Amino acid sequence: MGKARSYCIIHPDSVSHAKFGYSRADVTIEFPGEFKTGQDGLRDFAFDRVFEPSAGQAQIYQEVARPAIKDVFERMANCLFLAVGASGGGKTFTMTGGTKRFDDRGLIPRSISAVFETLAARTDREDFRVAVSFFEIYREQVIDLLSKAYAESATRHIVRSEREAYNLLFEGDSRRHFEQLPSNSETSRGHVFFQLYITRANAEAVLAFVDVAAPSPKQSSIDTSIAQSLAALRAVARSMCAGLPADQNSTLLTRLLEQWLTHDDIVTLLPLKYQSCGESYDFLQLARILHQALKSRAGACEGHPRKSSPVAGPMPGTVGACPADTTSRDRPLSHTFTPTFAMRTPRNLDACECIGPDTEAAPAIRSLDMKIPTPARNRCRVPKAEAPSVPPGPVPAGQAARVFGVDVRHRHSLPVVRAGVAREASPFRGQARPLGMPHNLVSAHATRVAHVTVNPHVNITRPGLANASATCTYSPMRGGRPSVSYSPLPMQRVVARPYHSEGRSRSISPMPGSGVTSAPFPWVPIPAGVKSWAPGHG
Ligand SMILES: Nc1ncnc2c1ncn2[C@@H]1O[C@H](COP(=O)(O)OP(=O)(O)OP(=O)(O)O)[C@@H](O)[C@H]1O
């Protein structure tokens, strides 16, 4: 039988609430007599561990997910991480990550890193293959987030490095359905499955991370669909507790979870922001019933190897069997351009700014914050051999170029105008500009449309995924050769400033293990009629 663990993660905004308390393994809420049971008083909910708000993501990862990664390599055990909870409680924060600090990256990126770090340390690493699938249940349909399509089958992409896996994570993340609601400015509107498949010979272990959407008070049709699937999940758990056959076919969520619920290791996560007694009680109870149901399972085998994806079982009309060895899709930005880190950006990102880091030092980067780097940390010339030659002078409007394998173009005729814009959004705004560093050293402007905009000095992005790496310091106004900002220090401090129309942003993660590939830098006319310069147009 698979193991079952359950954790509660307390949201920082819950702490001061009088009707809510928690200890290391219990959450207690107080509710009035008329609510639910008709009895006044306190209700206790036990967990394997309750993480107080001061517990960082690193600690949560260590206790929650690290054992599962070990089990993958020791006994090819599958594990499902199932995050449930009310809107705004922190499910996405726990699974994918927070917005402001690198330290806030969640279970998925940390697990990706751990899998590749473990592999790197093994002599038999060549025997393993890692693949990723990423899909969303939205309005009772599966959307493959890696192929942008309503899916009969979720595509499985082989990933050969941490960077490739991150790329897919951020790519898919940018395609998720979010909505701005009072409870959360970025509310997930679909149940999201991110799966890592680790295969060796005929054995396969799957790590699945499921972020279960919560209904909002808006009561739209999406909310109805979400509420129905949660009710179905609750009903399945109740049947399991009672030892009765469960109707798992009533919703797509329960159908996709069926095999997990009956067989595998499951970690239930309840990120909890105490908002109202009713809502908290509902989800605390759901977590409890789920945990009880999982504990009561019998007869399933522990850590059995899978032949096919647990979530992508053969179900007509839904996610079907994944093709076993689909190779990575051709992703123009990533196969020639090697980002050093990626920012999980807001859906309606206006612009972001990134500085550094050294792509060669990137594997050592484990710290990312919002501070301004010192010039010493941020300036280092790219070897001349790598520096593409650029003709001096302003880049004419409507011209494009391929910089380090990435298509870029100017949207403005005069770089100097662009520079003015960049300065406004510069990380150095209001501060003394570090000596020798152009104030607009890096400025990547992204819109939701897949295009790349460049100012005279850089750079690169695509929707939902601001890839920053090669920091071209070439200034058309100064002429000369372009160079790339490299950090000479292993613990490069990276600056990443997500800008957003409402001041919101998403998390930041590194792209270790990358290197910069250079490419010719000819300015070429943008084809007539092309409004946004999408990767691949060149
Ligand atoms: N442990 C935490 N520490 C700091 N901030 C947190 C924490 N958990 C969540 N947040 C913040 O709370 C907000 C809501 O979190 P998140 O979007 O992860 O909630 P959610 O449960 O996924 O909500 P929804 O169901 O609406 O999508 C975000 O701004 C997030 O950064």
CA 311, 314, 316, 322: dihedral to nearest 10 degrees?
70
* Residue 96 near ligand 1, beta carbon < 6 Å: no
* Residue 98 near ligand 1, beta carbon < 6 Å: yes
Report CA(130)–ligand 1 centroid distance (Å). 29
Q: Residue 533 carries which side chain, given as an amino acid letter? A: W
Residue 346's pLDDT is 29
Higher per-residue confidence, 427 vs 128: 128
Model confidence pLDDT, tens digit, residues 403-438: 333 333 333 222 222 222 222 222 322 222 222 223
Model confidence pLDDT, tens digit, residues 23-71: 888 888 876 554 545 455 667 888 999 999 899 999 999 999 999 999 9
Number of CB atoms found within 10 A of residue 249's CB: 12
Report CA(91)–ligand 1 centroid distance (Å). 6
The span from the CA of 427 to the CA of 381, in Å, is 21
Angle in degrees, CA 176, 177, 183, rounded to 5: 120
Please state the three-class secondary structure of 56-100 as a single string.
Answer: CHHHHHHHHCHHHHHHHHHHCCCEEEEECCCCCCCHHHHHCECCC
Report CA(55)–ligand 1 centroid distance (Å). 15
Per-chain mean pLDDT for the chain: 60
The span from the CA of 538 to the CA of 534, in Å, is 8
Model confidence pLDDT, tens digit, residues 147-199: 766 666 678 899 998 888 888 887 787 778 877 777 777 788 899 999 999 99
* 213 Cα nearest atom in ligand 1: 25
- The string of DSSP letters for 157-221 reads EEE-SHHHHHHHHHHHHTTS-EEEETTEEEEE-SEEEEEEEEEETTEEEEEEEEE-----TT--H
The span from the CA of 159 to the CA of 165, in Å, is 6
Q: Residue 136 carries which side chain, given as an amino acid letter? A: E
* Residue 186 near ligand 1, beta carbon < 6 Å: yes
Helix (H, G, I), strand (E, B) or coil at 53: coil
The span from the CA of 329 to the CA of 327, in Å, is 6
* Residue 426 near ligand 1, beta carbon < 6 Å: no
* Residue 388 near ligand 1, beta carbon < 6 Å: no
* Residue numbers belonging to the annotated binding site for ATP: 85-92
* Residue 192 near ligand 1, beta carbon < 6 Å: no
Higher per-residue confidence, 156 vs 262: 156
- Contact (CB, 8 A) for 488 and 381: no
CA 289, 292, 294, 297: dihedral to nearest 10 degrees?
-130
Give the class (CATH, top level) of 4-295: alpha beta
Token output for 199: 């295969």
- Contact (CB, 8 A) for 409 and 524: no
Asked if the model's pLDDT at residue 335 lies above 70, the reply is no
Token output for 189: 């509107």
* Residue 271 near ligand 1, beta carbon < 6 Å: yes
* 189 Cα nearest atom in ligand 1: 27
Confidence of residue 372 (pLDDT cuts 50, 70, 90): very low
What's the DSSP call for residue 474? -
Residue 458's pLDDT is 28
Model confidence pLDDT, tens digit, residues 452-506: 222 222 233 322 222 333 333 333 333 333 333 322 222 222 223 222 222 222 2
Highest mean pLDDT among 162-171, 333-342, 527-536: 162-171
Find the DSSP H helices in 394-472. Answer: 415-424
Residue 82's pLDDT is 96
The span from the CA of 459 to the CA of 364, in Å, is 23
Of 203, 260, 270, 207, which is closest to residue 65 (Cα–Cα)?
207
- What mean pLDDT is predicted for residues 115-139? 91
Residue 206's pLDDT is 93
* 57 Cα nearest atom in ligand 1: 1
Helix (H, G, I), strand (E, B) or coil at 244: coil
E-assigned strands of 358-511?
A: 368-369, 399-403, 406-409, 465-468, 494-500, 508-510
Asked if the model's pLDDT at residue 11 lies above 50, the reply is yes
Which residue's CA lies nearest to atom 31 of ligand 1? 98
Residue 148's pLDDT is 62
The span from the CA of 497 to the CA of 223, in Å, is 33
Token output for 287: 């977590």
Question: Do the bridges between strand 128-138 and strand 157-159 make them parallel or antiparallel, or are there none, so unpaired?
Answer: antiparallel
Which residue's CA lies nearest to atom 9 of ligand 1? 90
The span from the CA of 166 to the CA of 348, in Å, is 20
CA 329, 335, 340, 346: dihedral to nearest 10 degrees?
-40
The span from the CA of 256 to the CA of 274, in Å, is 29
Mutate to test the pocket of ligand 1, among 9, 81, 92 (most ligand atoms within 8 A of CB): 92
- Contact (CB, 8 A) for 22 and 10: yes
Q: What percent of the chain has pLDDT over 90?
A: 21
For 373, residues 6+ apart whose C-beta sits below 8 A from its C-beta are 355, 356, 434, 492, 493, 494, 495
* Residue 402 near ligand 1, beta carbon < 6 Å: no
Report CA(92)–ligand 1 centroid distance (Å). 6
Please tell me the number of Cα atoms within 13 Å of 431 on its side-chain side: 15
Report CA(59)–ligand 1 centroid distance (Å). 17
Q: Domain map of the chain by residue range?
A: 4-295, 331-538
Asked if the model's pLDDT at residue 222 lies above 80, the reply is yes
The span from the CA of 456 to the CA of 181, in Å, is 38
Residue 345's pLDDT is 30
What's the DSSP call for residue 261? H
